[in-house]
């Protein structure tokens, strides 16, 4: 071997060359300018002058080192290209090993400190121009690997061809590959600390992915989009506060609607922009919440086991097309929320597990690092690089895609070390307790940087326990979320509604108990996908009685929900009163709208939303006790509930009354705080909703008869299984 040390040649051949830039490219060797190019399975390589296009020298294959082409010159030409020949093909390419590093010292410092807020702009695959040459810069964090290479369709997935440079002490590897452009498929090939070749890994920061079941990352550009939603971005902060109406339509993009005339495929982002957005606007929802769209390998996980956290799933289109969907939402004055999953990730071999041959992203001890419920791995929240990875991902969606908020999945599983674990299956914290102190710190940090860096956004926690102060500011010791799903309210009220009406008087407190804690957090009332899967059936089929009574029960329940303090969330299909349990592989049952009862429920949801949004007393004090007052909470024998909703300096309070039995109640006297005419604003038993049309002929006048602790009262007709809304006519303040 004339032009390379035997040990370096051995490492090159074996694919274990950990410092390729010290060998490949242009170097001084034996007092001469020496060019070394490793390009397996080609016939010939020439060094070409970039400026003139003339051949400087021909490279010859080194004896005993197949694929290594070498030449020596007395005078170096630092800026050069390679002319490569294979068979009848000849092409020009730049040598990746002639370029200086792309990452700077500040980047390396911030990455090492776990403090790089825009980490996605440095790591991953970036289409750039470097030293005057167009190509893609690849970088990945793998501190314990002996060698990392980029592999792809551009080098026949050969990990020996493009080994990367290790940067300082950060554990980041990088390389600039000239000529690689958007659309190229790639992965990283790593050798672990023991010298073992690992399964090829998808890019943790990849902006795109292949269509599942393929698993490679795809080079995608983020730059160049011209956003047109400036007006929405200016006003959204005012629209997402606790004193504003927030009504959320939860959607699984793969099954909301399918093109049955095109093989039953899901709609694209573009088609959702044209069909889903107008539908949601027509029904009066203020927000759409998407079940996770970060790339995921298994359809049956519904996105809750993601691998490509930075890649909008290719199932529905490209990142650019997803941005178009976001803009369509904003053009319609609809906010877009994403389900975000920072709590766990699947063990698929192309994912984050044992990424560099060590427990890099996950805990090494399965008592801390494995989820028994979902057979997934748990992030090591106490490691600064992992916390940085996840927090930068949150910022990525908010900044790069103009998403309006994140609903954080499975927060309870993050907060407790013993979540779903038996005695002896978990490790206590440093104080001997069950709280996951590292996860708590992480969640606080995420909320601080999200609210601090991106004005106007909102975060919501799916948290099913009584963990305190979820929505209290971090400065006051809370977790810092904007909102929390009220899982207790959902469980109690659904349980009540499933009871036969004759038995409901024994469970009356399930409908009233939520008020006892209802203002301890900023709550969202969720009827989510979790209530219509895994054999739970649909909402309408949870209701007792005959067919008509099931629909009446559901309408009354929706009225109760929209009249109750708390923001609203409804899973798609619930507005259709879909009888079938949700199936992620099929479309919603849109044909049900041919039936009067189903159309009636859809119309009710529309009218509830518009009543809610147009009535300050129904939303301004959603999260404050002074916005709610019981009128009748103890009539368990007749299963009747009556309460008053008040707004800020409200001059038009709203009286809400629910009758949860199939018996019409006539001459039912309810105390009211003010004299006057009370207008029946909405009645869930109205004929347009599929009801019987019974009620109060549009209004009722108060009488000077004491009831329910008030000097005045109204004499109501309460239809069976119904909820009614009454608003005082004129402008008067409730006392």
Which one of 41, 75, 98 terminates a domain?
A: 98
Task: Looking at the structure, tell me whether residues 250 and 328 fall in a common domain.
Answer: yes
Q: What are the residues whose beta carbons fall under 8 Å from the beta carbon of 184, sequence distance 6 or more?
A: 136, 152, 153, 154, 218, 219
Q: What pLDDT is stored for residue 462 in this prediction? A: 97
Instruction: Say yes or no to pLDDT of 651 above 80.
Output: no
In a domain, 124, yes or no: yes
Query: Is the same domain home to 151 and 290?
Result: no
Examine the domain organization and report whether 554 and 683 are in the same domain.
yes
Give 154-165 pLDDT, tens digit per residue: 999 999 999 999
DSSP for 136-150, please give it. EEEEEE-TT-SEEEE
At 494-539, the pLDDT tens digits run 999 999 999 999 999 999 999 999 999 999 999 999 999 999 999 9
Q: Which pLDDT band holds residue 113 (cuts at 50, 70, 90)?
A: confident
Q: Is the pTM of this model over 0.85?
A: yes
Q: Does the pLDDT of residue 30 top 90, yes or no?
A: no
Strand residue runs (E) in 252-352: 258-259, 265-266, 287-290, 294-295, 308-312, 335-340, 344-345
For residues 63 and 606, the model is more confident at 606
Is there a single domain that holds both residue 379 and residue 246? yes
- Count of domains in the chain? 4
Q: Do residues 257 and 211 both lie within one domain? A: no
175 found inside a domain: yes
The overall average pLDDT reported for the chain is 95
Render pLDDT for 530-575 as a digit per residue (tens, 0 to 9): 999 999 999 999 999 999 999 999 999 999 999 999 999 999 999 9
Name all contacts of 85-91 with Cβ < 8 Å and 24+ positions apart.
Answer: 85/42, 85/43, 85/44, 85/45, 86/41, 86/42, 86/43, 87/43
Domain CATH code at residue 556: 2.60.40.1180
Residue 534 lies in a domain: no
> 462 an active-site residue?
yes
Instruction: Provide the greatest CA pair distance for the chain.
Output: 110
Q: Do 549 and 626 fall into the same domain?
A: yes
**Which tens digits make up the pLDDT trace of 260-317?**
999 999 999 999 999 999 999 999 999 999 999 999 999 999 999 999 999 999 999 9
* CATH number where 254 lies: 3.20.20.80
Q: What is the pLDDT of residues 403-422, one digit of tens each?
A: 999 999 999 999 999 999 99
Q: Is the pLDDT of residue 734 over 70?
A: no
- 431-457 pLDDT, tens digit each: 999 999 999 999 999 999 999 999 999
pLDDT tens by residue, 467-495:
999 999 999 999 999 999 999 999 999 99
Residue-wise burial string across 146-160, b where 16 or more C-beta atoms lie within 10 A, e elsewhere: bbbbbbbebbebbbb
Cα angle 336, 339, 343; round to 5: 150
Task: Check residue 90 and give its pLDDT.
Answer: 94
Q: Which pLDDT score, from 0 to 100, does residue 76 have? A: 84
Catalytic choice (189, 289, 362, 462): 462
For the segment 582-603, the average pLDDT, to the nearest whole number, is 97
Query: What are the residues facing 716 on neighbouring strands?
Result: 668
60 and 113 share one domain: no
Q: Tell me if residue 530 is catalytic.
A: no
Is residue 586 situated within a structural domain?
no
Q: What is the CATH number of the domain that holds 145?
A: 2.60.40.10
Q: Is residue 607 situated within a structural domain?
A: yes
pLDDT at position 379 over 60: yes
- Which one is catalytic: 295, 409, 622, 650? 409
Would you state the structure tokens that stand for residue 391, as one six-digit string?
A: 């927090």
Residue 650: its pLDDT value, please?
Answer: 67
Same domain, 112 and 88: no
Is a pLDDT exceeding 90 seen at residue 51? no
- Same domain? For 271 and 396 the reply is yes
Q: Which of 93-102, 232-241, 726-735 has the lowest mean pLDDT?
A: 726-735
pLDDT in tens, 189-202: 999 999 999 999 99
In the chain, % of residues over pLDDT 90: 89
Question: Residue 604 falls within a domain, yes or no?
Answer: yes
The reply to whether 640 and 735 lie within a common domain is yes
Boundary (domain end) residue, out of 31, 64, 98: 98
**What residues contact 693, with CB distance under 8 A and at least 6 apart?**
685, 686, 687
**Angstrom distances, CA of residue 234 to CA of 241, 248, 333, 399:** 14, 21, 12, 14
685 and 558 in a common domain? yes
Residues 6+ positions from 105 with CB-CB distance below 8 Å? none
| Residue span of the structural domain in which 132 resides | 105-218
Tell whether 579 is covered by a domain: no
Residue 123 and residue 90 share a domain: no
Least confident of 143-147, 165-169, 353-357, 506-510: 165-169
- Predicted local confidence at residue 731, as pLDDT: 56
Q: Is residue 532 part of a domain?
A: no
């Amino acid at each position: 071997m004339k032009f390379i040390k035997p040990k370096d040649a051995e490492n090159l051949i074996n694919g274990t060359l950990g410092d390729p830039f010290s060998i490949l490219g242009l170097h001084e060797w034996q007092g001469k300018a020496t060019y070394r190019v490793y390009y397996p399975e080609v016939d010939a390589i020439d060094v070409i002058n970039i400026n003139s296009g003339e051949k400087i020298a021909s490279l010859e294959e080194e004896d005993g080192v197949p694929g290594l082409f070498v030449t020596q010159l007395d005078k170096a030409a630092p800026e050069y290209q390679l002319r490569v020949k294979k068979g009848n093909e000849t092409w020009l390419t730049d040598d990746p090993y002639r370029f200086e590093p792309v990452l700077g010292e500040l980047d390396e410092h911030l990455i090492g400190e776990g403090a790089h807020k825009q980490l996605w702009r440095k790591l991953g695959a970036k289409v750039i121009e470097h030293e005057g040459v167009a190509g893609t810069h690849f970088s990945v964090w793998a501190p314990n690997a002996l060698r990392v290479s980029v592999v792809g369709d551009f080098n026949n997935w050969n990990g020996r061809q493009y080994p990367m440079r290790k940067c300082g002490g950060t554990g980041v590897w990088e390389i600039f590959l000239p000529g690689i452009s958007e659309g190229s498929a790639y992965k990283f090939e790593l050798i672990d600390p023991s010298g073992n070749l690992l399964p090829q890994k998808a890019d943790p920061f990849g902006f795109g992915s292949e269509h599942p079941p393929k698993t490679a990352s795809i080079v995608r550009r983020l730059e160049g989009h011209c956003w047109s939603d400036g007006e929405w971005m200016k006003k959204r902060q005012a629209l997402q506060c606790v004193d504003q109406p927030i009504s959320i339509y939860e959607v699984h993009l793969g099954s909301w609607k399918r093109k049955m005339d095109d093989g039953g495929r899901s709609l694209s982002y573009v088609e959702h922009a044209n069909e889903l957005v107008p539908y949601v606007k027509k029904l009066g929802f203020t927000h759409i919440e998407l079940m996770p769209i970060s790339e995921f390998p298994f359809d049956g996980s519904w996105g809750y086991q993601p691998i490509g956290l930075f890649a909008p799933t290719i199932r529905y289109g490209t990142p650019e097309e997803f941005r178009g969907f976001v803009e369509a939402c904003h053009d319609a004055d609809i906010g877009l929320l994403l389900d975000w999953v920072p709590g766990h990730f699947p063990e698929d071999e192309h994912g984050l597990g044992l990424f560099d041959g060590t427990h890099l992203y996950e805990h090494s001890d399965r008592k801390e690092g494995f989820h028994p419920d979902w057979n997934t791995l748990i992030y090591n929240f106490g490691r600064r690089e992992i916390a940085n990875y996840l927090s930068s991902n949150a910022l990525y969606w908010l900044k790069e895609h103009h998403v309006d908020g994140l609903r954080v999945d499975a927060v309870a599983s993050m907060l407790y070390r013993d979540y779903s674990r038996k005695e002896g299956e978990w490790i206590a914290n440093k104080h001997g307790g069950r709280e996951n102190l590292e996860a708590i710190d992480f969640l606080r940090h995420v909320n601080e940087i999200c609210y601090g860096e991106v004005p106007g956004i909102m975060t919501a926690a799916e948290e099913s326990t009584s963990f305190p102060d979820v929505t209290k500011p971090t400065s006051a010791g809370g977790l810092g979320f904007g909102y929390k799903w009220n899982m207790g309210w959902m469980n109690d009220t659904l349980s009540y509604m499933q009871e036969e009406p004759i038995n409901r008087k024994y469970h009356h407190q399930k409908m009233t108990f939520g008020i006892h804690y209802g203002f301890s957090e900023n709550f969202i009332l969720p009827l989510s996908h979790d209530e219509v899967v895994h054999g739970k059936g649909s909402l309408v089929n949870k209701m007792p009685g005959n067919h008509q009574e099931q629909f009446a029960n559901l309408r009354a329940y929706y009225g109760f929900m929209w009249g109750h303090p708390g923001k609203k969330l409804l899973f798609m299909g619930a507005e259709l009163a879909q009888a079938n349990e949700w199936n992620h592989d099929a479309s919603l049952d849109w044909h049900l709208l041919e039936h009067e009862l189903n159309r009636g429920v859809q119309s009710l949801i529309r009218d509830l939303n518009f009543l809610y949004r147009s009535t300050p007393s129904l939303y301004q004090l959603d999260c404050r006790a002074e916005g709610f007052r019981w009128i009748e909470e103890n009539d368990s024998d007749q299963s009747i509930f009556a309460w008053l909703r008040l707004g800020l300096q409200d001059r038009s309070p709203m009286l809400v009354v629910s009758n949860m039995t199939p018996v019409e109640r006539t001459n039912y006297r309810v105390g009211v705080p003010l004299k006057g005419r009370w207008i029946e604003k909405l009645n869930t038993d109205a004929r347009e909703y599929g009801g019987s049309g019974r009620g109060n002929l549009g209004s009722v006048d108060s009488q000077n008869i004491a009831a329910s602790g008030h000097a005045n009262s109204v004499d109501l007709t309460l239809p069976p299984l119904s909820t009614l809304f009454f608003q005082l006519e004129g402008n008067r303040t409730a006392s």
